[in-house]
């Protein structure tokens, strides 16, 4: 699958792309438990476009700019009018 094919609400997304940018991690507090998590955003790109990839906790340290990442069984959401790719708990993120 290519970046330009991603649409809000898609599930079971498999995609491979290069990391071109990564934000600094920030702390968020879980709504359900009194725990904190780290979250960051990576911009990934292929020859068809770019998309934001949400990274949580350990994923943040695995991914660096210029890495090629493969997302298996991811899903797409929309946040503030922009689509975002998410790995989720049933997906897999691999750094090539």
pLDDT tens by residue, 15-46 = 999 999 999 999 998 887 788 999 999 999 99
| Digit-coded pLDDT (tens) for 46-93 | 999 999 999 999 999 999 999 999 999 999 999 889 999 999 889 999
Domain count, the chain: 1
This prediction has a pTM of 0.92
Gap between the terminal Cα atoms of the chain:
17
Percent share of the chain, pLDDT over 90: 88
Range of the domain at 45: 3-95
Helices (H), the chain: 58-62
Cα–Cα distance for residue pair 35/12, rounded to 1 Å = 28
- The domain that holds 81 is classified in CATH as 2.40.50.140
């Amino acid at each position: 699958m290519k970046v330009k094919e991603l649409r809000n609400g898609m599930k079971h997304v498999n995609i491979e792309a290069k990391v071109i940018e990564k934000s600094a991690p920030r702390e968020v507090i879980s709504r359900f438990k009194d725990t904190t998590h780290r979250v960051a955003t990576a911009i990934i790109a292929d020859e068809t476009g770019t998309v934001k990839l949400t990274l949580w906790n350990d994923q943040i340290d695995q991914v660096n700019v210029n890495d090629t990442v493969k997302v298996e069984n991811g899903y797409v959401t929309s946040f503030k009018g922009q689509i975002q790719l998410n790995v989720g708990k049933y997906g897999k993120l691999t750094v090539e």
